[in-house]
Amino acid sequence: MQLTNISAVVTGAGSGLGAATARTLVERGARVVGIDLAVDTAADVDGITYIAADVTDEAQVRAAVAVAADQGPLRLAVNCAGVAPSSRILGRGGVHDLSLYAKVVHVNLVGTFTVMALAAEAIARTEPLRDGQRGLVVNTASIAAYDGQIGQAAYASSKGGVVGLTLPAARDLAQHGIRVNTIAPGIVDTAMLATVSEEFRAGLAAGVPFPQRLADPAEYAQLVTMLAEHDYLNGETIRMDGALRMAPR
């Protein structure tokens, strides 16, 4: 699938993986609707229309998808929005906050499903391309889905849900010509790491077999474009982690 002159929805577009993806898609000739809770500080990029929306709110997501479809044809949705708090199931302060656990799953898994389903509804209305293909959904998991560390029970299980969703979603949407793939990044150099020391960052990088550095958000965006253009990749979760396997802590 070519990216030129298509419309795309990218969640979490205000920063990090989503921002890099939105910029890269525009550079490749797509028109992008970037969704985030707050878009006031998002970089002003020609070709990106920012919409403040909660990925768990059906009405808000529908409205954003409608804007993208109007810029159409809508053929790509990329789910980058997510939260990653840390808490042990049973810690010094007591039991893991149950409402926090529910929130993480609601944002990371239910939010991903909501955007995927509503975007797929619009993509299914587009004219088919070669082999009947109409578009692609790319979801974001994490290597924590496989190697969840101490304190990552909520995050790891929410991202494990995204991995588990990938194949049945691809099978469900096959009749509409929509592919579904997932990227599971390792340690990416995003704003969440901007406040830590260089020594700490170097320690994280040292644990990556090769290349021995943190991933760049642009590399995630590059993988999104590869998935879009490789029409036979479907129902797959791809680890982007430099062969990293996380230790318990």
Catalytically annotated residues: 155
Give the chain as a 3 state SS string: CCCCCCEEEEECCCCHHHHHHHHHHHHCCCEEEEEECCCCCCCCCCCEEEEECCCCCHHHHHHHHHHHHHCCCEEEEECCCCCCCCECCEECCEECCHHHHHHHHHHHHHHHHHHHHHHHHHHCCCCCCHHHCCEEEEEECCCHHHHCCCCEHHHHHHHHHHHHHHHHHHHHHHHHCEEEEEEEECCECCHHHCCCCHHHHHHHHHCCCCCCCCECHHHHHHHHHHHHHCCCCCCCEEEECCCCCCCCC
